[in-house]
Structure 1
Amino acid sequence: MVRSREVRILDVIFQILWAVAFFNSPIKITGIRKDIDLPKKLICRNTVQGRYKLADDNGYICTALSVSPWTRCCPESGERFSCQGCNLISKCCNSYEYCVSCCLNPSMTQEDLVLKLKIAKPVTAGTHSSIFDFCSGRCRHNSANVVHENAYSSDFHHCYFLQTNSSGLIGPNFERRLTGIDILIGKQGESCNLACISKGQSCVSNKLSVINSCELLEKYMSCKGSCFASMGADQPAEVVNNAPKHMYPGACLYSQTDSMLSCEGFHPQTKRLCPCA
Protein backbone atom coordinates (compact mmCIF):
# COMPACT_ATOMS: atom_id res chain seq x y z
CA MET A 1 0.00 0.00 0.00
CA VAL A 2 2.78 2.40 1.01
CA ARG A 3 4.79 1.32 -2.02
CA SER A 4 1.88 2.04 -4.36
CA ARG A 5 1.44 5.53 -2.92
CA GLU A 6 5.15 6.31 -3.45
CA VAL A 7 4.91 5.19 -7.07
CA ARG A 8 1.98 7.51 -7.70
CA ILE A 9 3.82 10.44 -6.09
CA LEU A 10 6.91 9.77 -8.19
CA ASP A 11 4.76 9.54 -11.31
CA VAL A 12 3.18 12.94 -10.61
CA ILE A 13 6.59 14.51 -9.94
CA PHE A 14 7.92 13.09 -13.22
CA GLN A 15 5.00 14.53 -15.19
CA ILE A 16 5.54 17.95 -13.59
CA LEU A 17 9.26 17.91 -14.40
CA TRP A 18 8.56 16.84 -17.98
CA ALA A 19 6.06 19.64 -18.50
CA VAL A 20 8.48 22.24 -17.09
CA ALA A 21 11.27 20.98 -19.32
CA PHE A 22 9.00 20.95 -22.39
CA PHE A 23 7.71 24.50 -22.03
CA ASN A 24 11.08 26.00 -21.13
CA SER A 25 13.00 24.42 -24.00
CA PRO A 26 13.21 26.14 -27.43
CA ILE A 27 10.76 24.53 -29.84
CA LYS A 28 11.10 24.75 -33.60
CA ILE A 29 7.69 24.98 -35.23
CA THR A 30 7.28 24.23 -38.90
CA GLY A 31 4.28 24.94 -41.07
CA ILE A 32 3.05 25.95 -44.51
CA ARG A 33 4.51 29.17 -45.84
CA LYS A 34 1.99 31.99 -45.77
CA ASP A 35 3.04 33.28 -49.17
CA ILE A 36 2.24 29.99 -50.87
CA ASP A 37 -1.35 28.88 -51.36
CA LEU A 38 -2.60 25.55 -52.54
CA PRO A 39 -3.56 25.71 -56.21
CA LYS A 40 -7.27 26.16 -56.78
CA LYS A 41 -8.83 23.99 -59.42
CA LEU A 42 -10.51 26.05 -62.10
CA ILE A 43 -13.80 24.61 -63.28
CA CYS A 44 -15.57 26.04 -66.31
CA ARG A 45 -19.20 25.84 -67.20
CA ASN A 46 -19.89 25.06 -70.82
CA THR A 47 -22.59 24.26 -73.34
CA VAL A 48 -22.42 20.54 -72.67
CA GLN A 49 -25.05 19.51 -75.21
CA GLY A 50 -22.84 20.30 -78.20
CA ARG A 51 -22.03 17.23 -80.26
CA TYR A 52 -19.07 18.78 -82.06
CA LYS A 53 -18.56 22.26 -80.58
CA LEU A 54 -18.57 23.68 -77.07
CA ALA A 55 -18.52 27.22 -75.69
CA ASP A 56 -17.26 27.76 -72.13
CA ASP A 57 -18.09 30.56 -69.71
CA ASN A 58 -14.87 32.37 -70.62
CA GLY A 59 -16.18 32.82 -74.16
CA TYR A 60 -13.87 30.28 -75.81
CA ILE A 61 -15.03 27.94 -78.59
CA CYS A 62 -13.53 24.48 -79.04
CA THR A 63 -14.34 20.99 -80.22
CA ALA A 64 -15.87 18.51 -77.80
CA LEU A 65 -12.69 16.41 -77.98
CA SER A 66 -10.34 19.28 -77.10
CA VAL A 67 -12.15 20.43 -73.95
CA SER A 68 -10.18 19.67 -70.77
CA PRO A 69 -11.58 16.58 -68.97
CA TRP A 70 -10.42 18.03 -65.63
CA THR A 71 -11.58 21.63 -65.82
CA ARG A 72 -14.18 21.41 -68.63
CA CYS A 73 -12.54 24.53 -70.11
CA CYS A 74 -11.70 25.08 -73.77
CA PRO A 75 -8.02 25.70 -74.64
CA GLU A 76 -7.19 29.41 -74.35
CA SER A 77 -5.37 29.18 -77.66
CA GLY A 78 -8.70 28.83 -79.46
CA GLU A 79 -11.36 31.30 -80.62
CA ARG A 80 -12.77 33.66 -78.00
CA PHE A 81 -15.93 35.78 -78.25
CA SER A 82 -16.38 34.49 -81.79
CA CYS A 83 -19.41 35.70 -83.76
CA GLN A 84 -18.93 33.31 -86.67
CA GLY A 85 -22.25 32.76 -88.42
CA CYS A 86 -23.91 35.62 -86.50
CA ASN A 87 -25.79 38.65 -87.77
CA LEU A 88 -24.61 41.53 -85.58
CA ILE A 89 -27.63 43.67 -86.43
CA SER A 90 -30.31 41.20 -85.37
CA LYS A 91 -27.95 39.56 -82.83
CA CYS A 92 -28.94 36.13 -84.12
CA CYS A 93 -26.66 33.23 -85.11
CA ASN A 94 -26.98 29.96 -86.99
CA SER A 95 -25.08 28.05 -84.28
CA TYR A 96 -25.93 27.77 -80.59
CA GLU A 97 -22.30 27.60 -79.43
CA TYR A 98 -21.21 30.63 -81.47
CA CYS A 99 -24.27 32.49 -80.22
CA VAL A 100 -23.17 31.92 -76.61
CA SER A 101 -19.56 32.88 -77.37
CA CYS A 102 -20.62 36.06 -79.18
CA CYS A 103 -23.11 36.96 -76.45
CA LEU A 104 -20.39 36.72 -73.77
CA ASN A 105 -18.38 39.45 -75.49
CA PRO A 106 -18.63 42.56 -73.22
CA SER A 107 -19.01 44.75 -76.30
CA MET A 108 -22.09 42.77 -77.34
CA THR A 109 -23.88 42.30 -74.03
CA GLN A 110 -23.80 44.64 -71.06
CA GLU A 111 -23.47 42.53 -67.92
CA ASP A 112 -25.11 45.09 -65.62
CA LEU A 113 -28.26 45.06 -67.75
CA VAL A 114 -28.34 41.27 -67.98
CA LEU A 115 -28.03 40.71 -64.22
CA LYS A 116 -31.02 43.02 -63.62
CA LEU A 117 -33.17 41.30 -66.23
CA LYS A 118 -36.12 39.33 -64.87
CA ILE A 119 -36.25 35.70 -65.96
CA ALA A 120 -40.02 35.32 -65.73
CA LYS A 121 -43.05 37.34 -64.67
CA PRO A 122 -42.15 40.19 -62.28
CA VAL A 123 -44.14 38.82 -59.34
CA THR A 124 -42.28 35.54 -59.07
CA ALA A 125 -39.21 36.22 -61.21
CA GLY A 126 -35.62 35.93 -60.19
CA THR A 127 -32.60 37.31 -62.00
CA HIS A 128 -29.71 35.66 -63.82
CA SER A 129 -26.80 34.70 -61.55
CA SER A 130 -24.23 35.31 -64.29
CA ILE A 131 -23.94 36.50 -67.86
CA PHE A 132 -23.26 32.87 -68.88
CA ASP A 133 -26.66 31.88 -67.47
CA PHE A 134 -28.28 34.56 -69.60
CA CYS A 135 -26.38 33.75 -72.80
CA SER A 136 -26.71 29.97 -72.58
CA GLY A 137 -30.43 30.28 -71.91
CA ARG A 138 -31.23 33.10 -74.32
CA CYS A 139 -29.43 31.47 -77.24
CA ARG A 140 -31.63 28.39 -77.03
CA HIS A 141 -34.71 28.28 -79.22
CA ASN A 142 -37.53 30.48 -77.97
CA SER A 143 -40.92 31.70 -79.13
CA ALA A 144 -39.46 34.91 -80.60
CA ASN A 145 -37.59 32.86 -83.21
CA VAL A 146 -40.48 30.84 -84.64
CA VAL A 147 -43.50 31.49 -86.84
CA HIS A 148 -46.77 29.54 -86.73
CA GLU A 149 -45.37 27.76 -83.63
CA ASN A 150 -43.66 25.06 -85.69
CA ALA A 151 -41.19 26.75 -88.05
CA TYR A 152 -38.17 28.96 -87.63
CA SER A 153 -38.37 32.48 -89.02
CA SER A 154 -34.86 32.07 -90.52
CA ASP A 155 -31.67 30.01 -90.32
CA PHE A 156 -30.45 32.45 -87.65
CA HIS A 157 -32.63 31.08 -84.86
CA HIS A 158 -30.17 31.39 -81.94
CA CYS A 159 -30.53 34.96 -80.65
CA TYR A 160 -29.08 36.79 -77.67
CA PHE A 161 -30.77 40.20 -77.89
CA LEU A 162 -32.53 41.78 -74.93
CA GLN A 163 -36.23 41.93 -75.71
CA THR A 164 -38.10 44.68 -73.95
CA ASN A 165 -41.03 47.04 -74.31
CA SER A 166 -39.28 49.92 -72.61
CA SER A 167 -35.73 51.25 -72.45
CA GLY A 168 -36.55 53.26 -69.34
CA LEU A 169 -35.04 56.45 -70.71
CA ILE A 170 -38.12 58.68 -70.54
CA GLY A 171 -38.18 60.78 -67.40
CA PRO A 172 -40.29 63.63 -66.00
CA ASN A 173 -38.28 66.26 -67.91
CA PHE A 174 -38.63 64.47 -71.23
CA GLU A 175 -41.00 66.95 -72.95
CA ARG A 176 -38.94 69.93 -71.82
CA ARG A 177 -35.78 68.37 -73.26
CA LEU A 178 -37.45 68.17 -76.69
CA THR A 179 -38.78 71.74 -76.76
CA GLY A 180 -38.31 73.15 -80.27
CA ILE A 181 -37.45 69.74 -81.73
CA ASP A 182 -39.42 68.15 -84.56
CA ILE A 183 -39.42 64.36 -84.59
CA LEU A 184 -39.26 63.09 -88.18
CA ILE A 185 -39.20 59.61 -89.70
CA GLY A 186 -36.56 59.12 -92.35
CA LYS A 187 -36.94 57.11 -95.52
CA GLN A 188 -35.54 53.60 -95.85
CA GLY A 189 -31.73 53.72 -95.84
CA GLU A 190 -31.69 57.48 -95.18
CA SER A 191 -29.55 59.20 -92.52
CA CYS A 192 -31.03 61.74 -90.13
CA ASN A 193 -28.94 64.44 -91.79
CA LEU A 194 -30.71 63.81 -95.11
CA ALA A 195 -34.12 63.37 -93.47
CA CYS A 196 -33.86 66.73 -91.70
CA ILE A 197 -32.39 68.55 -94.74
CA SER A 198 -35.34 67.38 -96.85
CA LYS A 199 -37.56 69.38 -94.48
CA GLY A 200 -35.29 72.42 -94.50
CA GLN A 201 -33.91 71.62 -91.03
CA SER A 202 -30.77 70.19 -89.43
CA CYS A 203 -30.29 67.06 -87.31
CA VAL A 204 -29.69 67.86 -83.63
CA SER A 205 -27.17 65.20 -82.61
CA ASN A 206 -27.34 65.83 -78.84
CA LYS A 207 -31.06 64.98 -78.88
CA LEU A 208 -30.56 61.50 -80.34
CA SER A 209 -30.02 60.06 -76.86
CA VAL A 210 -33.28 61.68 -75.69
CA ILE A 211 -35.38 59.92 -78.32
CA ASN A 212 -33.39 56.66 -78.06
CA SER A 213 -36.22 54.75 -76.37
CA CYS A 214 -38.96 52.26 -77.08
CA GLU A 215 -41.58 54.73 -75.84
CA LEU A 216 -40.74 57.23 -78.58
CA LEU A 217 -40.35 54.58 -81.26
CA GLU A 218 -43.75 53.11 -80.44
CA LYS A 219 -45.30 56.60 -80.44
CA TYR A 220 -44.13 57.46 -83.95
CA MET A 221 -43.74 54.01 -85.54
CA SER A 222 -45.75 50.78 -85.53
CA CYS A 223 -42.95 48.52 -84.15
CA LYS A 224 -45.35 45.54 -84.53
CA GLY A 225 -45.25 44.99 -80.76
CA SER A 226 -41.49 44.43 -80.65
CA CYS A 227 -38.74 46.75 -79.47
CA PHE A 228 -35.22 45.39 -79.07
CA ALA A 229 -32.03 46.70 -77.52
CA SER A 230 -29.35 46.74 -80.21
CA MET A 231 -26.18 48.56 -81.27
CA GLY A 232 -25.73 50.80 -84.28
CA ALA A 233 -25.23 54.34 -85.51
CA ASP A 234 -28.56 54.17 -87.39
CA GLN A 235 -30.68 53.92 -84.25
CA PRO A 236 -33.27 54.59 -82.94
CA ALA A 237 -34.94 53.07 -85.98
CA GLU A 238 -37.55 50.68 -87.31
CA VAL A 239 -36.67 47.67 -89.47
CA VAL A 240 -38.50 47.96 -92.78
CA ASN A 241 -41.22 45.45 -93.59
CA ASN A 242 -39.40 44.04 -96.63
CA ALA A 243 -36.21 43.28 -94.69
CA PRO A 244 -34.98 39.65 -94.48
CA LYS A 245 -36.80 37.57 -91.86
CA HIS A 246 -33.75 37.18 -89.62
CA MET A 247 -33.70 40.98 -89.13
CA TYR A 248 -37.24 40.94 -87.68
CA PRO A 249 -39.13 43.12 -90.18
CA GLY A 250 -41.26 45.78 -88.49
CA ALA A 251 -39.42 45.59 -85.17
CA CYS A 252 -37.99 48.73 -83.56
CA LEU A 253 -34.41 49.08 -82.36
CA TYR A 254 -32.87 51.36 -79.78
CA SER A 255 -29.15 51.52 -79.06
CA GLN A 256 -27.64 50.24 -75.82
CA THR A 257 -24.70 52.61 -76.34
CA ASP A 258 -25.54 56.30 -76.73
CA SER A 259 -22.01 57.10 -77.88
CA MET A 260 -22.69 55.17 -81.12
CA LEU A 261 -25.64 57.37 -82.11
CA SER A 262 -24.96 59.60 -85.10
CA CYS A 263 -26.83 61.92 -87.43
CA GLU A 264 -24.80 60.43 -90.30
CA GLY A 265 -25.64 56.80 -89.50
CA PHE A 266 -27.91 54.79 -91.77
CA HIS A 267 -28.71 51.21 -92.70
CA PRO A 268 -30.31 49.95 -95.94
CA GLN A 269 -32.95 47.98 -93.98
CA THR A 270 -34.09 50.58 -91.42
CA LYS A 271 -35.99 53.86 -91.18
CA ARG A 272 -34.59 56.29 -88.64
CA LEU A 273 -36.33 58.37 -86.00
CA CYS A 274 -34.71 61.82 -86.18
CA PRO A 275 -34.61 64.98 -84.03
CA CYS A 276 -34.65 68.01 -86.33
CA ALA A 277 -34.68 71.76 -85.78
Structure 2
Amino acid sequence: MFKSQHPLIINLILQLFILQFSPPVSAIRKDVSLQHKHYCRTTVQGRFFLTDDNGYVCDAFSVDPLSRCCPGKGDKFSCHGCNLVSQCCNSYEFCVSCCLNPDMTRKELALKVKIAKPVTAGKFDFRCSTFSEDFSFDLSLTGNYGSVFDFCAGRCRHNSGSVVHENAYLSEFHHCFSLSSNFSGSSSTQLEARLAGINIIIGRQGESCDSVCKSNGQSCVPNKLALLNQCEVIQKYMTCKGACLSSIGADQPAEVVDDAPRYLNPGACLYTKTESMLSCDGSHSHTRRLCPCA
Protein backbone atom coordinates (compact mmCIF):
# COMPACT_ATOMS: atom_id res chain seq x y z
CA MET A 1 0.00 0.00 0.00
CA PHE A 2 2.86 2.37 0.83
CA LYS A 3 4.45 1.60 -2.52
CA SER A 4 1.25 2.47 -4.38
CA GLN A 5 1.04 5.84 -2.61
CA HIS A 6 4.72 6.64 -3.01
CA PRO A 7 4.39 8.43 -6.42
CA LEU A 8 1.50 10.53 -5.09
CA ILE A 9 3.54 11.64 -2.08
CA ILE A 10 6.50 12.58 -4.27
CA ASN A 11 4.18 14.56 -6.62
CA LEU A 12 2.68 16.45 -3.67
CA ILE A 13 6.15 17.29 -2.30
CA LEU A 14 7.21 18.61 -5.74
CA GLN A 15 4.11 20.85 -6.00
CA LEU A 16 4.76 22.27 -2.52
CA PHE A 17 8.38 22.93 -3.49
CA ILE A 18 7.34 24.79 -6.67
CA LEU A 19 4.86 26.94 -4.75
CA GLN A 20 7.42 27.69 -2.09
CA PHE A 21 10.17 28.97 -4.38
CA SER A 22 8.31 30.20 -7.47
CA PRO A 23 8.37 34.04 -8.00
CA PRO A 24 5.26 35.91 -6.88
CA VAL A 25 2.65 36.58 -9.59
CA SER A 26 0.99 39.96 -9.51
CA ALA A 27 -2.77 39.89 -9.90
CA ILE A 28 -2.92 43.61 -10.67
CA ARG A 29 -3.10 44.61 -14.36
CA LYS A 30 -1.04 47.60 -15.24
CA ASP A 31 -2.62 50.80 -16.55
CA VAL A 32 -6.18 49.63 -15.87
CA SER A 33 -8.56 52.60 -15.70
CA LEU A 34 -5.67 54.99 -16.28
CA GLN A 35 -6.45 55.64 -19.95
CA HIS A 36 -7.32 59.21 -20.83
CA LYS A 37 -11.06 59.77 -21.16
CA HIS A 38 -12.24 62.64 -23.30
CA TYR A 39 -15.17 64.58 -21.90
CA CYS A 40 -16.94 66.67 -24.50
CA ARG A 41 -18.01 70.23 -24.15
CA THR A 42 -21.32 70.93 -25.83
CA THR A 43 -23.52 73.80 -26.85
CA VAL A 44 -26.80 74.04 -24.94
CA GLN A 45 -28.68 76.80 -26.72
CA GLY A 46 -30.98 74.64 -28.83
CA ARG A 47 -34.07 72.90 -27.51
CA PHE A 48 -33.53 69.75 -29.56
CA PHE A 49 -29.96 69.65 -30.87
CA LEU A 50 -26.48 70.32 -29.61
CA THR A 51 -22.95 70.23 -30.98
CA ASP A 52 -19.98 68.69 -29.18
CA ASP A 53 -16.39 69.85 -29.42
CA ASN A 54 -15.60 66.95 -31.77
CA GLY A 55 -17.76 68.64 -34.41
CA TYR A 56 -20.78 66.30 -34.32
CA VAL A 57 -24.40 67.43 -34.11
CA CYS A 58 -26.95 65.23 -32.34
CA ASP A 59 -30.14 65.38 -30.30
CA ALA A 60 -29.88 65.67 -26.53
CA PHE A 61 -31.27 62.18 -25.95
CA SER A 62 -28.45 60.47 -27.86
CA VAL A 63 -25.59 62.08 -25.92
CA ASP A 64 -23.41 59.68 -23.96
CA PRO A 65 -24.33 60.26 -20.28
CA LEU A 66 -20.73 59.82 -19.12
CA SER A 67 -18.62 61.56 -21.75
CA ARG A 68 -21.33 64.00 -22.89
CA CYS A 69 -20.19 63.30 -26.48
CA CYS A 70 -22.45 62.76 -29.48
CA PRO A 71 -22.45 59.17 -30.86
CA GLY A 72 -20.11 60.11 -33.70
CA LYS A 73 -22.62 59.24 -36.40
CA GLY A 74 -23.40 61.37 -39.41
CA ASP A 75 -21.20 64.11 -40.82
CA LYS A 76 -18.41 65.55 -38.73
CA PHE A 77 -18.05 69.31 -39.19
CA SER A 78 -21.42 69.41 -40.95
CA CYS A 79 -22.25 72.63 -42.82
CA HIS A 80 -25.91 71.75 -43.37
CA GLY A 81 -27.88 74.95 -44.00
CA CYS A 82 -24.74 77.10 -44.28
CA ASN A 83 -23.58 79.58 -46.89
CA LEU A 84 -19.90 78.72 -47.25
CA VAL A 85 -19.04 82.02 -48.90
CA SER A 86 -20.44 84.24 -46.18
CA GLN A 87 -19.80 81.52 -43.55
CA CYS A 88 -23.28 82.11 -42.13
CA CYS A 89 -25.84 79.41 -41.30
CA ASN A 90 -29.54 79.18 -40.52
CA SER A 91 -28.88 76.93 -37.50
CA TYR A 92 -26.73 77.66 -34.47
CA GLU A 93 -25.68 74.04 -33.93
CA PHE A 94 -24.62 73.48 -37.55
CA CYS A 95 -22.86 76.85 -37.52
CA VAL A 96 -20.69 75.66 -34.62
CA SER A 97 -20.10 72.27 -36.28
CA CYS A 98 -19.08 73.86 -39.58
CA CYS A 99 -16.89 76.42 -37.81
CA LEU A 100 -14.96 73.67 -35.98
CA ASN A 101 -13.66 72.33 -39.29
CA PRO A 102 -9.94 73.22 -39.45
CA ASP A 103 -10.43 74.02 -43.13
CA MET A 104 -12.97 76.67 -42.16
CA THR A 105 -11.36 78.19 -39.08
CA ARG A 106 -7.64 78.61 -38.56
CA LYS A 107 -6.84 78.08 -34.91
CA GLU A 108 -4.00 80.60 -34.73
CA LEU A 109 -6.30 83.32 -36.06
CA ALA A 110 -9.37 82.38 -34.02
CA LEU A 111 -7.43 82.58 -30.76
CA LYS A 112 -6.40 86.15 -31.59
CA VAL A 113 -9.99 87.36 -31.77
CA LYS A 114 -10.97 89.67 -28.94
CA ILE A 115 -14.20 88.95 -27.06
CA ALA A 116 -14.48 92.36 -25.45
CA LYS A 117 -17.73 93.33 -27.20
CA PRO A 118 -21.09 91.60 -26.68
CA VAL A 119 -21.79 92.28 -30.38
CA THR A 120 -19.33 89.58 -31.36
CA ALA A 121 -19.55 87.30 -28.38
CA GLY A 122 -22.53 87.47 -26.08
CA LYS A 123 -23.28 84.94 -23.37
CA PHE A 124 -21.85 81.46 -23.76
CA ASP A 125 -23.26 78.36 -22.08
CA PHE A 126 -21.69 74.94 -22.07
CA ARG A 127 -21.76 71.70 -20.14
CA CYS A 128 -18.61 70.32 -18.55
CA SER A 129 -19.17 66.66 -17.76
CA THR A 130 -16.08 66.43 -15.61
CA PHE A 131 -18.07 68.17 -12.90
CA SER A 132 -21.54 67.15 -14.14
CA GLU A 133 -22.64 70.76 -14.08
CA ASP A 134 -23.67 73.48 -16.49
CA PHE A 135 -21.66 76.68 -16.63
CA SER A 136 -22.48 80.06 -18.05
CA PHE A 137 -19.83 82.58 -19.01
CA ASP A 138 -20.30 86.18 -20.03
CA LEU A 139 -17.91 86.56 -22.93
CA SER A 140 -18.37 90.33 -22.92
CA LEU A 141 -15.36 90.35 -20.60
CA THR A 142 -12.00 91.35 -21.99
CA GLY A 143 -9.63 88.77 -23.43
CA ASN A 144 -9.37 86.28 -26.26
CA TYR A 145 -11.14 83.04 -26.98
CA GLY A 146 -9.44 80.16 -25.19
CA SER A 147 -10.08 77.52 -27.85
CA VAL A 148 -11.59 77.06 -31.30
CA PHE A 149 -14.72 75.66 -29.64
CA ASP A 150 -15.03 78.84 -27.54
CA PHE A 151 -14.60 80.91 -30.68
CA CYS A 152 -17.20 78.99 -32.69
CA ALA A 153 -19.76 78.83 -29.89
CA GLY A 154 -19.35 82.55 -29.29
CA ARG A 155 -19.25 83.78 -32.87
CA CYS A 156 -22.22 81.71 -34.01
CA ARG A 157 -24.56 83.30 -31.48
CA HIS A 158 -26.83 86.15 -32.46
CA ASN A 159 -25.29 89.58 -32.44
CA SER A 160 -26.49 93.08 -33.21
CA GLY A 161 -24.87 92.91 -36.61
CA SER A 162 -27.38 90.30 -37.78
CA VAL A 163 -30.59 92.17 -36.98
CA VAL A 164 -32.47 95.22 -38.22
CA HIS A 165 -34.07 97.53 -35.64
CA GLU A 166 -33.24 94.94 -32.96
CA ASN A 167 -36.25 92.77 -33.81
CA ALA A 168 -35.78 91.42 -37.34
CA TYR A 169 -32.97 89.42 -38.90
CA LEU A 170 -31.20 90.56 -42.03
CA SER A 171 -31.67 87.03 -43.41
CA GLU A 172 -32.26 83.48 -42.23
CA PHE A 173 -28.48 82.99 -42.25
CA HIS A 174 -27.92 84.90 -39.03
CA HIS A 175 -25.46 82.55 -37.31
CA CYS A 176 -22.04 83.59 -38.61
CA PHE A 177 -18.51 82.55 -37.70
CA SER A 178 -16.42 84.33 -40.32
CA LEU A 179 -13.28 86.13 -39.24
CA SER A 180 -12.96 89.78 -40.07
CA SER A 181 -10.79 90.75 -43.00
CA ASN A 182 -8.14 91.97 -40.53
CA PHE A 183 -7.56 88.38 -39.47
CA SER A 184 -8.33 86.37 -42.58
CA GLY A 185 -6.48 88.58 -45.01
CA SER A 186 -9.49 88.26 -47.32
CA SER A 187 -11.08 91.15 -49.22
CA SER A 188 -14.36 89.29 -49.73
CA THR A 189 -16.40 91.18 -47.11
CA GLN A 190 -18.43 92.99 -49.77
CA LEU A 191 -18.97 89.73 -51.67
CA GLU A 192 -20.27 88.01 -48.53
CA ALA A 193 -22.71 90.84 -47.89
CA ARG A 194 -24.02 90.70 -51.46
CA LEU A 195 -24.61 86.95 -51.14
CA ALA A 196 -26.45 87.22 -47.82
CA GLY A 197 -29.73 85.31 -48.01
CA ILE A 198 -28.68 83.41 -51.14
CA ASN A 199 -28.80 79.62 -51.00
CA ILE A 200 -25.96 78.33 -53.17
CA ILE A 201 -26.75 74.86 -54.55
CA ILE A 202 -24.76 72.47 -56.73
CA GLY A 203 -26.94 71.06 -59.48
CA ARG A 204 -27.03 67.61 -60.99
CA GLN A 205 -25.32 66.76 -64.25
CA GLY A 206 -26.98 68.46 -67.22
CA GLU A 207 -29.37 70.48 -65.02
CA SER A 208 -30.01 74.22 -65.42
CA CYS A 209 -30.07 76.59 -62.44
CA ASP A 210 -33.75 77.25 -63.07
CA SER A 211 -34.39 73.54 -62.56
CA VAL A 212 -31.98 73.29 -59.58
CA CYS A 213 -33.63 76.12 -57.66
CA LYS A 214 -37.16 75.06 -58.56
CA SER A 215 -36.56 71.57 -57.20
CA ASN A 216 -35.65 73.22 -53.89
CA GLY A 217 -38.76 75.41 -53.85
CA GLN A 218 -36.84 78.53 -54.84
CA SER A 219 -35.99 80.60 -57.90
CA CYS A 220 -32.67 81.29 -59.56
CA VAL A 221 -31.35 84.83 -58.96
CA PRO A 222 -29.66 85.80 -62.28
CA ASN A 223 -27.89 88.91 -61.00
CA LYS A 224 -25.99 86.77 -58.45
CA LEU A 225 -24.44 84.48 -61.07
CA ALA A 226 -21.62 86.96 -61.67
CA LEU A 227 -20.70 86.78 -57.97
CA LEU A 228 -20.29 83.01 -58.22
CA ASN A 229 -18.39 83.27 -61.50
CA GLN A 230 -15.00 83.40 -59.76
CA CYS A 231 -12.52 80.60 -59.14
CA GLU A 232 -12.08 81.37 -55.44
CA VAL A 233 -15.84 81.08 -54.97
CA ILE A 234 -16.32 77.98 -57.13
CA GLN A 235 -13.49 76.19 -55.32
CA LYS A 236 -15.27 76.65 -51.99
CA TYR A 237 -18.11 74.44 -53.19
CA MET A 238 -16.61 72.12 -55.78
CA THR A 239 -13.52 69.89 -55.80
CA CYS A 240 -12.06 71.37 -59.03
CA LYS A 241 -9.65 68.44 -59.41
CA GLY A 242 -8.81 69.58 -62.92
CA ALA A 243 -8.07 73.18 -61.87
CA CYS A 244 -10.20 76.24 -62.63
CA LEU A 245 -10.34 77.24 -66.28
CA SER A 246 -11.77 80.06 -68.35
CA SER A 247 -14.48 78.89 -70.72
CA ILE A 248 -17.37 80.12 -72.83
CA GLY A 249 -20.89 78.98 -72.15
CA ALA A 250 -24.21 79.84 -70.54
CA ASP A 251 -23.78 76.94 -68.08
CA GLN A 252 -21.00 78.61 -66.08
CA PRO A 253 -19.97 78.69 -63.30
CA ALA A 254 -19.83 74.90 -63.30
CA GLU A 255 -17.72 71.79 -62.84
CA VAL A 256 -17.04 69.22 -65.56
CA VAL A 257 -18.12 65.72 -64.48
CA ASP A 258 -15.42 63.08 -64.05
CA ASP A 259 -16.67 60.82 -66.85
CA ALA A 260 -16.72 63.58 -69.47
CA PRO A 261 -14.61 63.18 -72.64
CA ARG A 262 -10.96 64.03 -72.08
CA TYR A 263 -11.05 67.09 -74.35
CA LEU A 264 -13.60 68.67 -72.00
CA ASN A 265 -11.14 68.54 -69.06
CA PRO A 266 -12.95 66.17 -66.64
CA GLY A 267 -12.99 67.46 -63.06
CA ALA A 268 -12.16 71.05 -64.02
CA CYS A 269 -14.18 74.00 -62.77
CA LEU A 270 -15.24 76.54 -65.35
CA TYR A 271 -15.92 80.27 -65.30
CA THR A 272 -16.58 82.63 -68.17
CA LYS A 273 -14.99 85.99 -68.93
CA THR A 274 -18.06 86.88 -71.01
CA GLU A 275 -20.48 87.53 -68.17
CA SER A 276 -23.22 88.57 -70.59
CA MET A 277 -23.57 84.86 -71.40
CA LEU A 278 -24.42 83.89 -67.79
CA SER A 279 -27.93 82.51 -67.64
CA CYS A 280 -30.18 80.69 -65.20
CA ASP A 281 -31.50 78.42 -67.95
CA GLY A 282 -28.10 77.45 -69.36
CA SER A 283 -27.02 73.82 -69.12
CA HIS A 284 -24.53 71.33 -70.55
CA SER A 285 -24.73 67.55 -70.65
CA HIS A 286 -21.28 67.16 -69.04
CA THR A 287 -21.31 69.83 -66.30
CA ARG A 288 -22.85 70.45 -62.90
CA ARG A 289 -23.81 74.07 -62.26
CA LEU A 290 -23.27 76.26 -59.21
CA CYS A 291 -26.57 78.06 -58.67
CA PRO A 292 -27.74 81.07 -56.60
CA CYS A 293 -31.24 80.39 -55.30
CA ALA A 294 -33.63 82.38 -53.14
Instruction: Give the TM-score normalised by the residue count of structure 1.
Output: 0.50
What does 1:1-277 correspond to in 2, within 5 Å? Answer: 34=30, 36=32, 38-120=34-116, 125-165=142-182, 228=189, 238-239=190-191, 243-246=194-197
Q: Distance in 2 between matches of 1:240 and 1:40?
A: 42
Name the count of aligned residue pairs. Answer: 172
Q: Tell me how large the CA RMSD over aligned residues is.
A: 4.1
SS at match of 2:151: helix
For the 8 Å contact 2:173–2:196, the answer to whether it is kept is: no
Q: Distance in 2 between matches of 1:110 and 1:83?
A: 16
- Shift in alpha-carbon separation, 1:65–1:163, aligned structure 2, 3 A: same
SS at match of 1:89: coil
**1:140: Cα distance to partner?**
0.3
Q: Distance in 2 between matches of 1:57 and 1:153?
A: 28
Partner of 1:224: none
List alignment gaps of at least 5 residues for structure 2.
Answer: 1-22, 118-140, 199-223, 225-231, 254-294
* CA shift digits 1:222-259 (9 cap, x unpaired): xxxxx74xxxxxxxxx4298x35437x9xxxxx8x9xx
**1:166: Cα distance to partner?**
6.4
* CA shift digits 1:186-205 (9 cap, x unpaired): xxxxxxxxxxxxxxxxxxxx
Q: Distance in 2 between matches of 1:70 and 1:35?
A: 20
For the 8 Å contact 1:90–1:246, the answer to whether it is kept is: no
For the 8 Å contact 2:86–2:196, the answer to whether it is kept is: no
Instruction: Give the TM-score normalised by the residue count of structure 2.
Output: 0.48
Q: Distance in 2 between matches of 1:160 and 1:263?
A: 30
Greater radius of gyration (CA): 1
Q: Distance in 1 between matches of 2:177 and 2:28?
A: 47
Q: Distance in 2 between matches of 1:93 and 1:145?
A: 12
**1:150: Cα distance to partner?**
2.5
**1:263: Cα distance to partner?**
9.0
SS at match of 1:136: helix
- Shift in alpha-carbon separation, 1:29–1:81, aligned structure 2, 3 A: same
Q: Give the share of equivalent positions with the same residue, in percent.
A: 55
Q: Distance in 1 between matches of 2:34 and 2:184?
A: 46
**1:78: Cα distance to partner?**
2.8
For the 8 Å contact 1:92–1:159, the answer to whether it is kept is: yes
